[in-house]
Amino acid sequence: MPARTRIYGVNIERDWKEIGRAHGEFFARIRPASTMLEVSRLVEPEMLVEIEADAVVS
């Protein structure tokens, strides 16, 4: 299944290893193409990470 994820984090320098580990555990069987980006903030101040996923299911 072709898939892609985009990961938005508010502090990549601090959190990239934990984000990557969680992403890898969840998407291990799918192995999507992925991009990780740092943003200044997300919609809710308490949110630290947002993951957007697209997949083609036939």
What tens digit of pLDDT does each residue of 3-56 get?
999 999 999 999 999 999 999 999 999 999 999 999 999 999 999 999 999 999
Read off the CATH number of the domain in which 12 is found.
Answer: 3.30.1330.40
pTM of the complete model = 0.86
- Domain that includes residue 48, residue range: 3-55
Residue in the structure block whose two tokens are 């991009």: 35
The pLDDT value given to residue 29: 93
What is the rounded CA–CA span in Å between residue 8 and residue 2?
20
Name the phi and psi angles at 20, rounded to 5: -60, -40
The domain tally of the chain equals: 1
